[in-house]
């Protein structure tokens, strides 16, 4: 499975939920609702939603858009695997 880029993820989020994820394309990893980790060659973006219901809706949209989703915090956060980049802890 080919993973999509973090840029494509941010574009999808801003298009799908423009109010909640406002500025995510321009701020990228500095957006307050986004964090990241890189584990070896696996890069993950963590998306923090307002509540569990919002997380379910966002997860569904991301899956439909072809992103690989992993459960991180079933209540609020979504872990999305993206193509490799030198994210937080990339050098460990």
Query: Which pLDDT does position 90 carry in this prediction?
Result: 57
Running DSSP on this structure, what letter comes out for residue 5? P
Determine the average pLDDT of the residues in 78-87.
84
pLDDT tens, position by position, 15-72? 999 999 999 999 999 999 999 988 888 889 999 998 888 888 999 999 999 999 986 6
- Using DSSP's 3-state secondary structure scheme, residue 18 falls into coil
Domain boundaries, given as residue ranges, for the chain: 1-17+31-92
pLDDT category of residue 89 using cuts at 50, 70 and 90: low
Q: Which two tokens stand for residue 46?
A: 């963590």
First to last CA, the chain: 25
CA distance 51 to 66: 23
Could you tell me how far CA 2 lies from the centroid of its own chain? 16
Task: Please provide the size of the chain in residues.
Answer: 92
Q: Which two tokens stand for residue 79?
A: 């872990």
Short-list 29, 34, 3, CA closest to 17: 34
């Amino acid at each position: 499975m080919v993973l999509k880029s973090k840029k494509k993820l941010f574009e999808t989020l801003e298009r799908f939920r423009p109010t909640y994820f406002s500025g995510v394309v321009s701020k990228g990893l500095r957006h307050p609702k986004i964090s990241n980790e890189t584990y070896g060659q696996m890069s993950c973006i963590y998306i923090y939603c307002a509540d569990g219901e919002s997380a379910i809706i966002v997860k569904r949209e991301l899956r439909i858009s072809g992103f690989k989703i992993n459960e991180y915090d079933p209540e609020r956060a979504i872990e999305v695997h993206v193509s490799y980049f030198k994210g937080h802890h990339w050098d460990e």
